[in-house]
Amino acid sequence: MAHLNIVLHEPEIPANTGNIGRTCVATGTRLHLIKPLGFDISDKAVKRAGLDYWPKLDVTVYESYEDFLEKNPGAKIYYATTKGPQTYVDVQYEEDCFIMFGKESAGIPEDILYDNQETAVRIPMINDIRSLNLSNSVAIVLYEALRQNNFDHMQLAGHLRTHEWR
């Protein structure tokens, strides 16, 4: 069974993290937050954006990037960045990989990206756009990783209340 992981490196905006948390709950994905955070994890805005899903979230908080690496030895990590040398569809996401996103104002530090060029990926955009919203970026890349893993453990068909699909 696929157990994907989303990592937010020093997230700053609670509503983005709340929205990402809700996406993680809906997909059975684990969320990892690397400090410093730009908000208190109990912040009402985080919980409001995640609605009633926040208590169902599998979330781990780390003191630093180094702490994250120490507690996840050997983890396959993809680094989502506007500076990536390849697109997010050019790689094969393993069923237990980690996909990291940087803080809203600056992204993932360039030293980390430079040391991990082979797993740095980007979402294609036109030249004059700085970046997409963080929660949108997470959804785009996460759903590609889920698609590659055949949406393992996910409900693939919806149901009507008053009719049956043909």
Q: 35-94, pLDDT tens digit by residue?
A: 999 988 775 666 666 567 888 999 999 999 999 999 999 999 999 999 999 999 999 999
Q: Which domains does the chain have, with CATH numbers?
A: 5-148 (3.40.1280.10)
CB 80 within 8 A of CB 122: yes
The predicted structure's pLDDT at residue 121: 98
Q: What does residue 7 show for φ and ψ, rounded to 5 degrees?
A: -120, 130
DSSP per-residue string spanning 133-159: -HHHHHHHHHHHHHHHTTTTTS-----
CB 101 within 8 A of CB 6: yes
Q: Residues at the annotated binding site for S-adenosyl-L-methionine?
A: 102, 123, 131
1-14: pLDDT as tens digits = 668 999 999 999 98
Task: List the Cα angle 123/74/121 in 5-degree steps.
Answer: 10
pTM above 0.95, yes or no: no
Q: Which two tokens stand for residue 14?
A: 């609670």
